[in-house]
Structures are given as C-alpha cells and as structure tokens.
Amino acid sequence: MRSVYTVSVNKASTEKRNEEDNLHIETRRRRFIRELVGILLGVSIAAIVGSLVPAIREGYSLFAVLLWGGALGGLLVSYERFERAGAALTRGENKLVNYLVGIGIPVGVLVVIYLIST
C-alpha cells in the first residue's frame, strides 16, 4: 500500500518537471523569435543596401544579396548555437574554434546553394 507521503512527493516532482519543461519551451521560443528577427533584419538591410549601392546591384542577383543578408543577420544573433554546434563536432573546449566550425556549417551550405543557383 502506498503512503500519502509517496503520493505527494511524486506529485511534487511531476509538477516541478512540468515547470522545467515549460521554461525550456519558452526559452527555445524566445531564441527562435530572436533569430527570426535577426534574419529578417539582415534581409531588409541587404535589400536596402543592394538597391542603393550600384556595384552590388549590378554585380549580384537580388536572390544572392538577400540570401547573404539573411545569413549574416542570423549569424549575428545566434552565436551561442554556433558555438554549441561546433563543440558537438570538434569535441573540444576552445570556444573560438567551436564558433568558427559552427559558422562553417551553414556558410558552407549557403555557398553550395549559391553555386547551384547561378
């Protein structure tokens, strides 16, 4: 037979776990929104600069300018995730190396997309 103490401890631990899950979900949502805003600002700034600077307007397609603007905007706001991604690949603790490796992943994908599109 289960005691009242065991039931109350299980209920308390379940409530604590639910609070931790909700906090984790909220943190992930805030990070996603921050990254999305960074990408959209990067695309907007790239569109403005691309339309104002003749060398960019004549030398690159609008798609390429917007693509790189979004990439740079996302890069600026999500440095923590790049460092974590790089650490997963390098298994090292050098933050600069982890960050550079983490940045290299999406930049490499963008270079491939750009080369395919041209």
C-alpha span between 99 and 104 (Å, rounded):
9
Q: What's the total number of domains in the chain? A: 1
Per-residue pLDDT of 64-107, as tens digits, reads 999 989 988 988 888 888 888 889 988 888 888 998 998 888 78
Residue 13 has pLDDT above 80, yes or no: no
Average pLDDT over all residues of the chain: 83
Cβ 58 vs Cβ 75: under 8 Å: no
Contacts of 78 (CB under 8 A, 6+ apart): 31, 34, 35, 38
CA distances from 42 to 11, 67, 98, 110 (A): 47, 9, 24, 15
> Quick check: pTM over 0.85?
no
Cβ 96 vs Cβ 86: under 8 Å: no
C-alpha span between 79 and 34 (Å, rounded):
12
The pLDDT of residue 110: 81
The pLDDT of residue 81: 83
Q: In terms of residue numbers, what domain contains 67?
A: 4-117
Sign of CA dihedral 87, 91, 97, 103: negative
The pLDDT of residue 39: 92
